[in-house]
Structure formats: C-alpha cells, structure tokens
Structure 1
C-alpha cells in the first residue's frame, strides 16, 4: 500500500510539474502574442494616419485632418491619439490644432532621434500600450514633402502617438490559462484513476510476494499467493505457488534429516536456509574428521585430533582435556594448554575420585556464571570456567574444562557447546571401539585368574621397555618368585585351594609394589616382579615384605584345617648382572633355583658363580 501511494504521489508531482510548465509556457507565449498583436495594430493605425495626413496634404485639405484623426481614434481600441510637430514645422506653420506640440519626454525623444518608441504600462487593473512613431519627410511620387516644407528629405516632420487599452487581452489570456489548468487537472485525475485501477492489483501482488518471502526467510513456505491479474502474471503466481509447495516439502525433510545428524544448536538463526548451510558445512567438517579418526592407530591420537579441533576451529585458548574411568571413578589428565590449569581443581582428590567433580557427578555442563562458587572443587576465585562432560559408554567419559578470566568469554564458549558435542558424538563410536580393543588387548595380556600381566605381555612389550631403559639409563631389579611345594597343594587339596593360593599371592604382590613397577604371572605358580629404578636395599625390602606377608597367610582346606605356604625368591639386577632384561630374568630364575636347592622359603640374590654367562 505504501508503495502504491508513493507511486501515485510521484506521478501526481510529475503531471503537476508538466501542467505548471505548460501554463508558464502558454502564459509567456500568450503575453508575447498579445503584445505583438497590439503592436501590429498600432503600426497599422500609425501607417493609416501617416497615409491619411499625406493624402490631406497632397489634396490641400490639411485643415480637415481633425475629423480624420477623430475617426481613426474610434477604432481598434485606440484609447487616445495625438500629433506633435517638429520645431521645423512649428516655425513654418505654427503649432497646429489643439497645440500639436510634444506632450512628454517620449514625444521629444522620438522627434529628436527619429526612432519609434513602444512602451507597455501595466497595473493590477489595466494594461496600456503606448506607441510613438516619427513622421518623416519623403519625396516619393506625388508625396513630395519638400515642396511644402522647408526641410530636408528624411527629416522628422512630427510624431504620431497612440495609447491602446489591451487589458482585455490579459483577461482573455488569464481565462485561457484557467481553462488549460482545468484541462490539466482533469487529465491528472483521469491518469491517477487509471494508474490506480491498473497498478493496484500489481501492488497487492507485490505486497503478497513480500509477505510470502518474509515467511520463507523463517523457513515457512506454506504461504499461498493470490492475484486477480490474468495472463503472464497469473501464470507466474501459479508457478510460484507450486514452487513454494515443493520447497515446503523439501525443506521440511531437509531440516528433519539434518537434525538426525547433529544435535540441536544452541541458538537458531533467523534465516533457516543460512542455518541449513552452516549445518551442512559442519556436517562436512565432522564427516572429514570422523573419516580421519577411523584410520587413526589408537585413542590417544584421536584425543590429539579433538584437542586440535578445539584450538583451531573454536579458538579456545585455555582448556584441559580429561579421560574419566567411570567404573573406578578416576580422572586422568590427557592435555592442558597451560601448566596453571593443572592446579585449578583440587587435582589430587578429584583424580582419585572423579565423583567429587560436579560435571562428572551430574553428567551436565557446569558454567561458573550460573551461580557463585558453583563448583567447590575449583581452587581459583578469579577465574571463570565451563566444564563439559561427555559419556562414551558405561565405563568411560571425557571431560573438557575451559577457563577464562573474562566472564563475557563464557557466553562465546557456551554457544560452541552444541558443535563441540557434534564432534565428540562423531568420535564416540571410534573412541568406544578403541577402548574395547584396548580392553580386549589388555585382557589377552593379563592372567584371567589374578588379573596380573601374563608372559605374553612381557614378550610383546619387552623390546619397548628395553628401548625406554636405554634412552633414559634406567635400572630394574628383577625378582622371580615360586610357591614352595605347590604341586602338593593341588594334589592333596585340589585345584580350588591351589587357585586360592595363586590369587592371594598376586594380591600380596600388588600391595607391595609401586605403580611404576610390574607384577607378572610368569607361568603356573611362578611370578615375575620388575622394580623400576629401585635401590638394592629397596629391592630387598620389597622382597622381604612379600615373603613375610605371604608367609602370614592361612588357607582354609576344610574340616577345620588350614594350610600355610611359603615362597622362594630370586633377584637379579639390570644392567649390573646382564645387558638385557631377558638375561636378568634368566639370572633371577637361576637365583630362585639356588634358593629352592638350598632349603626353599628364602630370598637369594644372583651372583656370577651361579651361572656360566659365557655359555648363555
């Protein structure tokens, strides 16, 4: 509607401008025409007077000229007419009738110069035209003025002055202009009515198009366009309705399908088409990310990929990345962008018990701006944080802890959460598969009864351990343990009691070694313990504690009886005794053999005389 009014207003101004220009042009031309017409009449009247006076002079009836002039002045709207003689004529014949002398400055000017003067005097009520023309001496034919006048040829004999009332011409022009103005106004009204009649349907269609397109920006293509216009415009409306119907069906399916690939975004865009483009771009990036991590060797490389995405794609400058063992409620730091982030939480307690972390316990985002001191585990008072947990399966989760000193930054980080979740969701099955494979691989490397590493683990990883030892110049004490007279237990009390002895010995080993040490069920009742970077005194102390703790155990064999068992231990030192772990294992086994042959239930350290190294 506003567009139509603007159009009508512009057309009206243009037509009015045209009308004004026409009226001004007509007015100027009419005035020029009126003045020109009056001048032509004045010249004709002056010529008539001139010819008449000449005729009177030739015929010798100059004394009769007054009647002639009176008759002339009654015609052609001549208001007044008079003659003025020159000084030559006055000297020769006198002033003439009614004092035919110069009446004003115009008469004098024309008598002096011999040139005509035409002057218009206009007031609000009247318009007068004054014409003063010279009467000059001529010598043509019978009209030889020199015969009667003592003058030269071309001298001014006198002037003829006339005044015309041309007010009627102005009034006629004014009426004409009013008629033209009326005709123009009628024309303008007719044009506006025609424009309104023909343009209104197009304006309504245009407004309808605007409304439909505005809805389409919001993802609503249900608008139906209507118009009374026939022909090509009507066909275009039908085609547009068909297009919108198809768009509604297609776009609705696209949005539903996109929603199945990515989690809901934090804030929808006002332009769903642009939002769909962003989602498709994100899906493309996530697809590339997923195809990449599917070929990665292990989960640690996948974690590196996620960390790189957080840095490069989302521009997160400060964050920590944790792996949560949900089954055992432990937390492990995988990566931190800054060293100070390691101390923001009460790390020692939370790593040992992840349930003390609010995000892990609630499995929901923890945002510091939601409430003062929201998470009591945070040790910093001037930092803002957003902790985002993500569950992989029942046994494992991830935790991304983002921090900043700017509270406004939290809003930006929060807006990234849906997209970050999309990446984690894409990585979830791959990480879960890697965890399962690690678990299966770990199971194949562990003894099913004691859950200690088995001999296969040692065979698979001994080369890796050796490479690390050589690079860092580390040392190991290798202990080989064996239950004394174990075969008798199985033979006498059965394998159930024998298994109990094996399991309890494994528990004794676990309780007496450090996390950096290794306890391995080497085979049957034989166990291998590798003490990392231990001293000789420390190794003997550990061996003594194991020997003593196991000796305290009593095994119920039924009928109120209990069984007491002992162990023998052999110890070797790497690299003092041998230049490889395998040699030291052999030497520890030799020391164990020495312990068994010398009475059992003892600890024996390897010595060179026990084994011929040259033969090995």
Structure 2
C-alpha cells in the first residue's frame, strides 16, 4: 500500500511539476516576446518621429547618422526607411536600401497597416516589424506641407529587424533555473510528505490487513501505531472492536461446546465456525426434539442410523445393542457388510473390547487391537481401519457404535468422531428413558422367575396373533402344560426348591421350542406354549418332545436330585375352534384328561371331550 501511495504522490507531483514548468515557460516566452515587440514598435515609432522632425528642421541629411546609432542599440539588427510611391514621384527613388525588399514591406506600403513577423530557428530568433508613415498631421506637424500627397496616403515605412536570440537564451536560463528549483522543491516536498505520511500509511496498511483477516473470520488482530493524534484513537477503537468480537465469538463457541458436549470442525474462520456451531446446535436441538417424541428405542435407533448414513455419509459402520443381563450383543444395524465383527461377540458381550473396557477402541493405537474384527488381514495391511465408541446408558455400556474406513479417509473420520459422539451422547438419555419404559412394560408382561411371558401378555397379543394366523392361512398350536405332583415338592422341600423346579422345567420347555414360539407361565405350575404357524399334527410332536425332555431331566436342588414329569393337553387354532380362548380351554380340558389317564402323557383334544356348545 505504501508503494502505491508513494507512486500516486510521485505521479501527482510530476504532473504538477511539468504543468508548472510548461506554464512558466510559455508565460516567460510570451512576456519576453511581448516586451521585445513593444521595444521594436517603440524604436520604429521613434525613428519615424525623429525623421519627421529632421525633415521639418531641414536636417534630413543627418538621418544616416541617426539610423546608425539606432542600429547600435542592443538587439537591433537592421533599420531602414522605405519610400512610398508619392515620395518616389516627388523626390525620386532614392538609394537602393530605401526600396521595399519583401512582401511585408510592399504590403505595408500598399495597405498602410503594421505588420510583424517572428522567425524562430535553432540558432537564431529574429523579429521584424514594418510600420507605415502616412500623410496625416502628427503632433502638430502637417506632412502635406512638404509632400505632394493626399490626406492619409502612405508616404513610406520604417522597417526594423531585431535579433531576439539573447532574449530566448535568457528565458531558457530562467526556465531551467525555475525547473531545477521546482524539481528540488518537489523532491523535498515528497521527502517531507513521505516522512509525515509514513505513520498514517502504516496505520492504514495495518488496518487493511486486520480488516482482511476479519473478512476471513479472524478477529485476533491488533493495529499498532506510534501516532499520538486521531490516528491513535482510531487504532485503539479498532483494537477494542476486534477484541470484543473475538471474545464474544469465543464465548459463544465455548458455551455451545459445553451445551452439546463436543466441538465442531474448526477452519480458522471464526464467523464461519460460529455459524457452523449454531447450525450444529440447531440440528442437535431438532434431533433431540424429534427423538424425545419417538415411541420406542427402535425409532431412536433409526434416527441415529439416518444421521450416520445420510447426514454424515458413512458407508461402513455397525451399531450394536448390549444386553447386560444375558451378557449378549445383538446387531441393531450394519452398513457396508453383513457384519464388521465376528459372531463370538453376539453370545459373549465381553468379547467386544469397547463394551468390556468401556472406552474407545482405535485400530491405529495398535495393529488390529481387537481380535474379533471381521477381517484382520485387511486391518494388518492398513487397507481398513476402525473406531469403536461405547455408549453409556443408565451408567452401563448399552450400545456400541463402530465405524470402518479406508486409510485415505482417516483425516475425515477423525474430524467426524466428535460429531458421532455428540449425537450418540445426545441420544443416550432418550434411549435410557425408552429402555426403562420397555423394562417396566416387560416387568408387567414377563414372569420374573421363569422369564416366560405372563397371562397379561397373552391378553394383549391375542387379537393380533389370531389375525396374523388367519391372514397367513396357517395354524396355531396350543400346549397346556402342568407339572405332575408339584405340590409335593413345595410341601416336602419348600418353596425355594419349588422355584428351582419351575425354572428348570421352563428351561427345558424353552430349549424344546423355536424362537418364534411363545412360552407363557399361565399360573402356578401351569404353562402355556403357543406354536406359531404349525402344520396339523406338529403340535403333538412338540408336546411329546417337551414331555420327554422334562422326564429325562435331573434337577439338582442342592440337597437332592429330583426328576419330574408333566402332563400336556394339545389343541389347535382355528382347527378346533374359531375362538382362541375356546381353543385354550380345549387344551386345558385335554390336560385334565391326561391327568385322569395317569399323568406324564400328551393328550390331543377331541370334540367328545367337550359337550357344551359354547365356551
């Protein structure tokens, strides 16, 4: 900037200097020429008037002496008297030098006007003036008394030639002197201006630099100046403004970071970063508002997965849910592969390093730090890397998020991790609330002793279940199971042993049916098993399988080993009735028939066991 300003001042002074020099030169020239012309005219008129006086006094013969003295005047090169036609006619042509020699002299004699000419050459400057001498009374002298001429007729002319070379040289010397003085003045002025303006130029430059940084969002700038006038006041106000903006934006960033629990990617542009923070805060706020209104944790999971895959553009990741009671892990969602971890973690949650340690797992810390990654070969070669984040819900690791990425994506993923943690942390309280809601609901529909559903659960699902069975045109097997002589166990060994028997019987039932089947503790020592989508006759086979499994099971209750049997009644919906509860009653009727026939057996319901028309 200082260079540009210096060039501008230099150009301005150069222009002014040249303009002043040219104006001065032309002015001096015009003044010199004007004065020379005036001098020439004065001399010409003097010659005319003097010769007129000589004629009146009768001493015209002394004219040559007079003209010689005139020629001796400085700058006079030649002077002569030219005779007009009337004088030639009256007194003769005279001497040769008294005749008109050029067009100027002839034109003056002809028109009676004053003519002059300036002739400038490289070596010489010549000025010639020709003035007419007319037959008119002048200063009381009547020319017509001596000349035979008409009033106003041109009697002759005075031709004067002057050498103005010395005048030009003088003017040039003056101009050169002025030029040198003006040049020195300009240089001195520029120096003084530079010294005077330097601190202001530096102030403007520093202000410009700070404003440039401010445009890029960097307000950590200070304007320095040695000025003690208004410039210092300006610098102080600018510094206060920049400092205020910088501190304000930092406070905004710190408060938002504290609010959302993580920082955003910084670019160095404070305004842009602050805008991103506000945008992220709004996004997080909207995200929390949405998931707080979601009905279940599955809905929250879906929101998170949408954020990871759509907003963050992740194409390789897994999201797991930890069941701390059972010590298992299940996959909530996986992207880019059927699974990024070995199946061993599903059965034993502690095989997951992130879950076991409760801390982040970064494959960069140690080559393939977790042995249960699905493809450790690509991990060792560096083609794939991973980062696992445990999510605490209710003081325990309830979820694990795993992102998998190529080596060239490392920088992007590392910048993205705070965002991932932010969304996971924001969702944790909502997941905890939904988890407690599910636990409460589960406690209301699950028997705590056996882990089977209770009768309330059956009442809730009855209508939907029967509708699905009819829609699929299949059958629902119903097994009513009762432990034989169970009261004797309670009476003999106590209720604690009775509870162990119930748990072992439930375990045997659970192991004998499919995952899709529904075991229910119907009351006391009686169980109900709903076999979903079975073929006719299949229910009896499953019932027999259960009976044998329990018959062959040895129940160790500490003080004694027990063996128990069960009686099972079987019915099928809608084969036996169009009403589910009537089919359950039929299975119960078949159960009591099994008891009557000696226990430890399976009895299929038949219409002859029920005589009433309606249930």
Q: Indicate the TM-score class for this superposition, using the shorter chain for normalisation.
A: 0.7 to 0.9
Residues of 2 paired with 1:187 and 1:31: CA distance? 23
Per-residue CA deviation, residues 148-194 of structure 1 (Å, 9 max, x unaligned), is 35x66666544432221223432333343345445544544564455
Question: Could you say which residue in structure 1 is the equivalent of 2:500?
Answer: 500
1:332 aligns with 2:331: yes
Question: CA deviation digits over 1:474-503, x for unaligned, max 9?
Answer: 531111111111112222333344333222
1:309–1:613 CA distance, 2 compared to 1 (3 A): farther
Match of 1:122 in 2: 120
Is contact 2:87-2:147 (8 Å) kept? no
Q: Give CA deviations for 1:273-301 in whole Å, capped at 9, x if unaligned.
A: 43233213312331232233223222122
Cα displacement string for residues 68-103 of structure 1 (whole angstroms, at most 9, x for unaligned residues) = 322333346322112344566556644423542334
Report the 3-state secondary structure (helix = DSSP H, G, I; strand = E; otherwise coil) of the residue aligned with 1:614. coil
Change in 2 beyond 3 A, CA 1:354/1:388: farther
Cα separation, partners in 2 of 1:578 and 1:167, compared to 1, 3 Å? same
Q: C-alpha separation between the residues in 2 aligned to 1:330 and 1:253? A: 42
Structure 2 residue aligned with 1:80: 78
For 1:353 and 1:165, locate their aligned partners in 2 and report how far apart those are by CA, in whole Å: 124
Q: Counterpart in 2 of 1:592? A: 591
CA distance in 2, matches of 1:157, 1:313: 114
- In the alignment, which residue of structure 2 is the partner of 1:455? 455
The equivalent residue for 1:297 is 295
Deviation of the 1:596 alpha carbon: 0.9
Question: How far, CA to CA, are the matches of 1:474 and 1:507 in structure 2?
Answer: 27
- C-alpha distance after superposition, 1:271-329 (max 9, x if no partner): 23432332133123312322332232221222233344446644x38566633336444
SS at match of 2:506: helix
Paired with 1:282 and 1:9, the residues of 2 have a C-alpha distance of 49
How big is the shift at 1:144?
A: 4.3
Counterpart of 1:606 in structure 2 is: 605
| Whole-angstrom CA distance in 2 between matches of 1:234 and 1:254 | 30
Q: Structure 2 CA distance, aligned partners of 1:389 and 1:580?
A: 51
- 2:51 aligned partner: 53
**Gap change, CA 1:113 and 1:284, over 3 Å in 2:** same
Match of 1:276 among 274, 277, 290: 274
SS at structure 2 position matched to 1:519: strand
CA distance in 2, matches of 1:605, 1:380: 58
- Structure 1 distance, partners of 2:323, 2:499, is 30
Question: Are 2:531 and 1:531 aligned?
Answer: yes
Matches within 5 A, 1:305-324: 305-310=303-308, 313-314=311-312, 316=313, 322-324=319-321
- Name 1:435's counterpart in structure 2: 435
In 2, the alpha carbon distance for the partners of 1:356 and 1:158 equals 137
Q: Matched residues in 2 for 1:266 and 1:177: separation? A: 73
Q: Name the residue aligned to 1:396.
A: 398
Cα deviations by residue, 1:344-385 (Å, 9 ceiling, x for unpaired): 768988867889999989954679xx99xx96549999xx98
Contact 1:131 1:163 in 2 (8 A): yes
Q: 1:555 to 1:410 in 2, by over 3 A?
A: closer
Counterparts of 1:116 and 1:169, CA distance in 2:
23
Match of 1:566 in 2: 565
**Taking structure 1 as the reference length, what is the TM-score of the superposition?**
0.81
Measured in 1, the distance between the counterparts of 2:363 and 2:579 equals 51
**Structure 2 CA distance for aligned equivalents of residues 75 and 558 of structure 1:** 158
Residues 215 and 223, structure 1, Cα contact 8 Å, conserved in 2: no
CA contact (8 A) 2:474 2:534 kept: no
User: Are 1:170 and 2:172 an aligned pair?
Assistant: no
CA contact (8 A) 1:320 1:333 kept: no
Q: 1:442 to 1:388 in 2, by over 3 A?
A: farther
Change (3 A) 1:376 1:321: closer
Question: CA separation in 1, counterparts of 2:314 and 2:348?
Answer: 27
Q: Structure 2 matches for 1:542-553, cutoff 5 A?
A: 542-553=542-553
CA distances 1:232-266 after superposition (whole Å, capped 9, x unpaired):
55555556666667667666555444433345547
Q: CA deviation at 1:425?
A: 1.6
Deviation at 1:529, TM superposition (A): 0.9
The 3 A distance-change label for structure 1 pair 19 and 240 is: closer
How many Å apart are 1:403 and its aligned residue?
A: 8.3
Matched residue SS, 2:521: strand
| Equivalence for 2:487 | 487
Output the TM-score relative to the length of structure 2: 0.82
Q: Is the 8 A contact 2:568 2:601 kept in 1?
A: yes
The 3 A distance-change label for structure 1 pair 566 and 146 is farther
Question: In the aligned structure 2, how far is the partner of 1:131 from the partner of 1:326?
Answer: 126
- For residue 533 of structure 1, give the secondary structure of its aligned residue in structure 2: strand
Query: Aligned pair in 2 of structure 1 residues 542, 304: CA closer, same or farther (>3 Å)?
Result: same
Q: Distance in 2 between matches of 1:610 and 1:363?
A: 64
Greater Cα shift, 77-86 or 175-184: 175-184
Question: Would the aligned equivalents of 2:391 and 2:401 in 1 still touch at CA under 8 Å?
Answer: no
C-alpha displacement at 1:569, in angstroms? 0.9
5+ residue gaps in structure 1? none
- The match for 2:580 is 581
Contact preservation (8 Å) 2:199, 2:226: yes
From the superposition, tell whether residues 220 and 155 of structure 1 become closer, same or farther in structure 2 (CA, over 3 Å): closer
Partner secondary structure for residue 118 of structure 2: strand
Q: Is the 8 A contact 1:385 1:410 kept in 2?
A: no
After TM superposition, give the deviation of residue 424 of structure 1 in Å.
2.0
Decide which moves more: 292-301 or 151-160.
151-160
**Per-residue deviation, 1:17:** 1.9
Give 3-state SS (helix, strand or coil) of 1:462's partner.
helix
Q: 1:356 to 1:145 in 2, by over 3 A?
A: farther
Contact 2:477–2:539 (CA under 8 A) maintained in structure 1: yes
Note the alpha carbon deviations across 1:450-490, whole angstroms, 9 max, x for none.
22222232233334434544555553111111111111222
Shift of 1:145: 5.2
Structure 2: state its 5+ residue gaps: none
For 1:73-472, list aligned pairs within 5 A: 73-75=71-73, 77-86=75-84, 89-90=87-88, 93-97=91-95, 99-104=97-102, 106-108=104-106, 110-111=108-109, 115-138=113-136, 143-144=142-143, 148-149=147-148, 156-185=154-183, 187-188=185-186, 191-192=189-190, 194-196=192-194, 198-206=196-204, 227-230=226-229, 232-235=230-233, 253-262=251-260, 264-265=262-263, 267-310=265-308, 313-314=311-312, 316=313, 322-325=319-322, 327=324, 328-334=327-333, 341=336, 343=338, 363-364=360-361, 376-377=374-375, 389-393=388-392, 394-399=396-401, 415-469=415-469, 471-472=471-472
User: What do you get for the CA RMSD once the two structures are aligned?
Assistant: 4.2
